A = this chain, B = another copy of it.
């Protein structure tokens, strides 16, 4: 009766913060050392100097620990909003370049791949992963695009969810499948192409592909899609 909790649910108030941190640190370290597949709960517990039960008490699976560890380590939850310089192309380039930079960083790349992979087999983890890690970035980009739409830099009828996917989809595809290297120039090219699709109609002659101009800087043209 009353506020009696389920007997099995642990009391977060009594949780040992020290253990929590040790577990998360151990998880991050071990993913880096042996990869996700060879990572074991037992090894995390041993490295953290913690009983296995303490892990199972607070997390439901190896994936959940790694997700938390990744979130804690990557400082997720901070401000994900894009800069708004008034120039949508410039701002998108900044965000796609930053994304490429992250994906090239092993500390980021490895757990991200692992979590993406694990998400294919664990819908609950997938939801948490997308909501905690990816959605904020996608939403921030969408928000910036909405601003551009109001400013007339993006056509009115555009579906902004698809617009976001037009930007991140190609990166994601190339990253996961390793079909070609991820470079900043590639990020620029994707922004360039995407904005052609999203932008409003233009005066005749203004949209000649490859015409010199800020939309198609040399770097993007040349090495863009190596």
Q: Does more than half of chain A's interface fall in helix, strand or loop, or is it mixed?
A: helix
**Nearest CB in chain B: distance from A39 CB, A:** 11
Would A165 and B156 count as touching, CB distance under 8 A? no
A75 close to B (CB within 8 Å): no
A114 to B155 Cα, complex, angstroms: 38
The proximity string for A residues 103-137 relative to B, scoring 1 for CB distances below 8 Å and 0 otherwise, is 00000000001101111110100100010001100
Interface size for A (C-beta < 8 A) is 63
A178 to B120 Cα, complex, angstroms: 10
Query: Which of A8-16, A19-27, A85-93, A194-202 lies on the face that meets chain B?
Result: A194-202
A121 in complex: contacting residue of B36, B121, B138, B208, CB < 8 Å: B36
A225 close to B (CB within 8 Å): yes
A159 in complex: contacting residue of B158, B172, B198, B225, CB < 8 Å: B225
Would A193 and B173 count as touching, CB distance under 8 A? no
Q: Which residues of A, 169-220, contact B by the 8 Å Cβ criterion?
A: 169-174, 176-180, 186, 189-190, 193-194, 196-198, 200-210, 216
Q: Do A165 and B176 contact each other (CB < 8 Å), given the known contacts A37-B121, A156-B210, A210-B156?
A: no
A204 contact set on B, CB distance < 8 A: 201-204
A151 close to B (CB within 8 Å): no
A134 in complex: contacting residue of B118, B158, B166, B177, CB < 8 Å: B177
A102 close to B (CB within 8 Å): no
Would B206 and A186 count as touching, CB distance under 8 A? no
A203 contact set on B, CB distance < 8 A: 204
**Nearest CB in chain B: distance from A205 CB, A:** 7
**Nearest CB in chain B: distance from A213 CB, A:** 12
